[in-house]
Structure 1
Amino acid sequence: MKTKYVLILFSLILSVPVGCANETEVSDEVSGKYEETQENIFKKPPTVFISSGVEQVRGVLGPYSWSYCCNNGETIGIEASSDAPPNLVQNNEPFQVTSATPISIEFETAPIKYQVKTWNENNKVTGTYEEIDTSNHKGRTVFEILVTWEQGNASYSFLLDIE
């Protein structure tokens, strides 16, 4: 009788690692599939830069609405607020350019669409554009770039000093 219990106990001990190994293999396979689909998914909005061709400046991330999937298949949604663009960049060193300097917008990941706005020191929008055009501005000017991606949208602020 004792031998029977020992054999049952021994077979139970041997079956536990086999069960765990199978669970691990399945878990690794599922995780691998999620990693493949998440390869191009950001957990926060991608970075946006502006460039004069010589220098490049990173935008200050403002308010955004963003979502992404977790490894368990659930979706996480983030709604972040912030101050107005002039207040976000007021203590930054301005990007020095002339009114003839062409400014390009560079995206870490290509967006679906974007729009450029200018702001005054009273936190009022003074113009809406398709690109950054420095030819119509002088002095310290705040540019905001509103960007839309598949995962959501975000605002980036830049302070330029235009001669």
Structure 2
Amino acid sequence: MLFHKGLSVYLVMSCIILVLSGCGVNDSQASDNQEPKVNPETNLEPPQLTVKLGGESLKAKRGVYSWSEGGAGIEASSEDPINILKSSDPHPVNQETVIKLDFESEPDDYEVKIWHDPGLIERVLDFDLSLQQGEVVYEVLAHWPQGKASYAFKVLVE
């Protein structure tokens, strides 16, 4: 009976060990479950936008963006362009001023909107200031292979 009881304990322990060892993760599975390697040099911010207003320049304020590069990504939210620029003074221009966009890295494409107020947004094809008067808030939404970003700037058309 003692032999039978010892054999039973041995068999039970062997089964437990086999079951537990089968639940482990082998090296190839472990490498599949690891976080992707991220390059510490990766900059998870979209390029800067400088707005050229005739002979002058101003940095556009970056709003909401989504960006991924080097195995990492980020989603950043912000207020709407009117609120982003609430404490900024508008840049004075006249109706003949030519507006050009100078991206740190040229996007694949972009679109331009005028924010009249948070509920009234107008999509425009260009920066035709001859049609504007007073304070104008522009939003530029740019697209790259790495993601997209929104920028805002404010002018005062005199």
TM-score by length of 2: 0.71
Deviations 1:88-133 (A, max 9, x none): 001112111001111111111011000000001x313432123222
Unaligned runs of at least 5 residues, structure 1: 1-33, 70-74
Which residue number corresponds to residue 145 of structure 2?
A: 150
Which residue number corresponds to residue 58 of structure 2?
A: 57
Aligned-partner Cα distance in 2 for 1:141–1:53: 16
2:84 to 88, 93, 112: 88
Which letter does structure 2 place at the counterpart of 1:63?
Answer: V
Asked whether the 8 Å contact 2:63–2:81 carries over to 1, the reply is: yes
Report the Cα offset of residue 66 of structure 1. 0.4
Which residue number corresponds to residue 127 of structure 1?
A: 122
Report the Cα offset of residue 61 of structure 1. 0.5
Secondary structure of the structure 1 residue equivalent to 2:64: strand
1:100 aligns with 2:101: no
Aligned-partner Cα distance in 1 for 2:141–2:128: 15
Deviations 1:9-59 (A, max 9, x none): xxxxxxxxxxxxxxxxxxxxxxxxx79xx7xx7420000111123110111
Aligned-partner Cα distance in 2 for 1:162–1:42: 36
1:161 aligns with 2:156: yes
Asked whether the 8 Å contact 1:49–1:56 carries over to 2, the reply is: yes
Which letter does structure 2 place at the counterpart of 1:159?
Answer: K
Identity %: 35
TM-score by length of 1: 0.69
Aligned-partner Cα distance in 1 for 2:114–2:119: 8
Asked whether the 8 Å contact 1:117–1:145 carries over to 2, the reply is: yes
Which residue number corresponds to residue 3 of structure 1?
A: none
Which residue number corresponds to residue 134 of structure 2?
A: 139
Unaligned runs of at least 5 residues, structure 2: 1-38
**Which moves more between the two structures, 150-159 or 48-57?**
48-57
Aligned-partner Cα distance in 2 for 1:53–1:42: 31
Secondary structure of the structure 2 residue equivalent to 1:86: helix
Secondary structure of the structure 2 residue equivalent to 1:135: helix
Which structure would you say has the larger Rg? 2
Secondary structure of the structure 1 residue equivalent to 2:46: coil
- Give the root-mean-square deviation of aligned CA atoms: 1.7
Deviation >4 Å, runs of 4+: none
Secondary structure of the structure 2 residue equivalent to 1:87: helix
Asked whether the 8 Å contact 1:117–1:125 carries over to 2, the reply is: no
1:68 aligns with 2:69: yes
